[in-house]
């Protein structure tokens, strides 16, 4: 059933006709931010996706149509805009929805300005939308953690004692976060085969994807302070799709005692469009029941998760036929974004604008909702057959992995686009 907020959103229509298709990922209700280079200009600008187009915010800012006047949209990333804070985010979004509304003539009837500011998305190249000073990857899906525990531990110890008490995470490598479409070179690392006494240096044989989402920090904090759970979402600018590529055989050898290192550092892909939190508000839902009741600092008064459909597919080289491997939902995550951020800062760790925080692999309760090949194939023991007839246990060279995600209302869809990456040989 639609909420009042959803119904009000549904009434919005744009003069950009392609944005009014109920299944288009980029309607006026969405307006995700991204960084792009057009064929007509080699400089990177900030824009929003609307239907089949990109609206160049640098052009609108230049002619005085936006409430922002600091030149933040003629930049390579969103960081300067995000640093202006939640009030600036809200005013900009409100103004953009007004300018793009079918009932508002200011931009709609200015053909000269439209010719400069509205660009076919097929004519732009998307860039990494944020400068990432820090990257954290959580491990917040109970289904995923349980499945992995069953693969590597006995049934009685699938979840370690701390898992249900705190959002488990590790610090990742921010420098290797790349935008969707960037080729991923197969990593090389130490691997110890089952019958060998010592490891060898070799290309990864068990390359995997992880179907994740991530939130982007827009409001920083000072070192030594913490963020209460009920205030955590005030620090979140928006969300992206995330593929935390994983070298499972390298990981198996290196992760004890300090966790993954080279098995994760070689690449993390994110989608080019950052969907603002206000666009997701109509899709807020209750998080899973938590048992035991979390410690006080992890308790939030409001429902803290969202109904976001997620899918992962794989497309072999020289083929146009992708095979869907997983269909799951963000709402399955046990630990919410607010709890993740509150726990991240409880020690006094400071937040910086652009910090990226991954959810961890998002798996659901059914066999078709597993968010990694490690789970799908039970660590290679149960291969999957693709629509092309080819068989996979893990990702082969020249395979392309495609993640997608969206929220669906009766009359509109809020989409994240795609997060893709094709694997190249080591």
Structure tokens that stand for 82 in this block: 């995000």
Q: Are residues 194 and 315 in the same domain?
A: yes
Q: Which residues contact 163 (CB under 8 A, 6 or more apart)?
A: 139, 142, 145
Give the global pTM. Answer: 0.96
Give pLDDT, residue 256: 93
Give pLDDT, residue 5: 46
CATH code assigned at 82: 2.30.30.230
Q: Are residues 165 and 102 in the same domain?
A: no
Q: Are residues 212 and 117 in the same domain?
A: no
Give pLDDT, residue 8: 53
Give pLDDT, residue 9: 59
Query: Helix %, strand %, coil % for the chain, to 5?
Result: 25, 30, 45
Q: Are residues 239 and 348 in the same domain?
A: yes
Mean pLDDT by 10 residues, the chain (426 residues): 48 96 98 96 96 98 94 97 98 98 97 98 98 98 95 85 97 97 98 96 98 98 98 98 98 94 98 98 96 96 92 95 97 98 98 98 97 98 97 98 98 98 98
Which of 101, 127, 153 terminates a domain? The answer is 127
Give pLDDT, residue 3: 45
What's the structural domain count of the chain?
2
- Which tens digit of pLDDT belongs to each residue from 356-413? 999 999 999 999 999 999 999 999 999 999 999 999 999 999 999 999 999 999 999 9
Q: Are residues 154 and 288 in the same domain?
A: yes
> Side by side, which strands form the sheet with 400-408?
184-185, 413-424, 400-408, 309-315, 323-329
Closest to 215 (Cα-Cα) out of 167, 163, 247? 167
Tell me, yes or no, if 144 is annotated catalytic: yes
Which of 127, 150, 172 terminates a domain? The answer is 127
Q: Are residues 60 and 143 in the same domain?
A: no
Q: How far apart are CA 136 and CA 113, in angstroms?
A: 41
Structure tokens that stand for 334 in this block: 């046990």
Q: Are residues 140 and 263 in the same domain?
A: yes
- Which tens digit of pLDDT belongs to each residue from 406-426? 999 999 999 999 999 999 999
Q: Are residues 159 and 282 in the same domain?
A: yes
Which of 96, 127, 158 terminates a domain? The answer is 127
Question: From the candidates 144, 235, 332, 343, which is the catalytic residue?
Answer: 144
Name the pairing type of β-strands 41-50 and 200-203.
unpaired
Domain that holds residue 202: 135-424
């Amino acid at each position: 059933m639609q909420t009042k907020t959803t119904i009000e959103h549904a009434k919005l229509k744009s003069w950009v006709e392609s944005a009014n298709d109920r299944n288009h990922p980029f309607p006026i209700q969405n307006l995700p931010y991204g960084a792009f280079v057009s064929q007509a200009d080699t400089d990177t600008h900030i824009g929003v996706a609307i239907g089949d187009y990109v609206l160049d915010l640098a052009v609108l800012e230049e002619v005085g149509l936006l409430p922002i006047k600091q030149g933040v949209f003629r930049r390579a990333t969103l960081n300067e805009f995000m640093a202006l804070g939640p009030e600036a985010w809200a005013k900009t979004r409100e103004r953009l929805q007004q300018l793009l509304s079918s009932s508002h003539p200011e931009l709609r009837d200015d053909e000269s300005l439209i010719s400069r500011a509205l660009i076919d998305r097929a004519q732009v190249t998307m860039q990494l939308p944020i400068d990432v000073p820090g990257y954290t990857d959580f491990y917040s899906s109970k289904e995923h953690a349980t499945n992995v525990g069953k693969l590597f531990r006995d049934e009685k110890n699938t979840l370690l004692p701390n898992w249900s008490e705190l959002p488990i995470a590790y610090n990742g490598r921010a420098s290797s976060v790349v935008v969707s479409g960037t080729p991923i070179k197969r990593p090389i690392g130490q691997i110890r085969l089952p019958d060998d006494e010592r490891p060898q240096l070799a290309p990864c044989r068990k390359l995997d994807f992880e179907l994740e989402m991530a939130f982007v920090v827009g409001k920083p904090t000072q070192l030594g302070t913490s963020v209460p759970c009920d205030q955590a979402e005030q620090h979140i600018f928006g969300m992206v799709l995330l593929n935390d590529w994983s070298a499972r055989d390298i990981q198996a050898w290196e992760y004890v005692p300090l966790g993954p290192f080279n098995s994760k550092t070689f690449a993390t892909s994110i989608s080019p469009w950052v969907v603002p939190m206000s666009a997701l508000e109509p899709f807020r839902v209750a998080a899973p029941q938590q048992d035991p009741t979390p410690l006080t600092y992890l308790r939030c008064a409001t429902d803290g998760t969202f109904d976001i459909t997620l899918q992962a597919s794989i497309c072999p080289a020289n083929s146009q036929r992708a095979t869907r491997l997983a269909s799951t939902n963000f709402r399955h995550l046990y630990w919410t974004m607010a709890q993740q951020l509150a726990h991240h800062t409880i020690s006094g760790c400071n937040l910086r604008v652009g910090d990226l925080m991954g959810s961890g692999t998002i798996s659901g309760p059914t066999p078709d909702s597993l968010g990694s090949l490690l789970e799908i194939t039970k660590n290679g023991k149960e291969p999957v057959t693709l629509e092309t007839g080819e068989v996979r246990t893990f990702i082969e060279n020249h395979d392309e992995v495609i993640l997608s995600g969206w929220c669906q209302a009766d009359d509109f869809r809020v989409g994240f686009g795609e997060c893709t990456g094709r694997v190249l040989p080591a």
